[in-house]
Amino acid sequence: MNIGNVEINGKLFLAPMAGVTDIAFRKICRDKGAAFVVTEMISAKALSFNDKKTFDLMRLLPDEHPAAVQIFGHEPEIMAEAAQRVHEETGCEIVDINMGCPVPKIVGNGEGSALLKNPKLIGEIVSSVKK
């Protein structure tokens, strides 16, 4: 299977789960046959503040590739900077934009699933991140 130009050799994918898909859990899943893993969601804003805990969450092991790092936020410029930084720091093949998290503190900031109420903003975020 391919996602864009990323070839994934296998059928098992590990979905991102906040508080679950840490580096140890992803390692176990890779060892048990997951062909593709995604980190916990990473705050684009926290990355812009150089938060150490955030960098720990997005760390990938050399044998985790191909992999994705999931970011969340609502500001196109900050999301674009986060995507660039995530790619540079981790070497991930894919940057995933969270648009599904329903947790009140995420939705309350206009992030996660709240983005689905604003297709124009989604377009701006995706366009910024793609550049």
Per the annotation, the verdict on 92 as an active-site residue is: no
Question: Among the options 68, 79, 101, 106, which is catalytic?
Answer: 101
Contacts of residue 1, defined as CB under 8 A and 6 or more positions apart, other chains included, come to 7, 8, 11
CA gap 8, 84 in Å, rounded:
22
78: helix, coil or strand?
A: helix
C-beta of residue 92 within 8 angstroms of C-beta of residue 86:
yes
Catalytic residue positions, numbered: 101
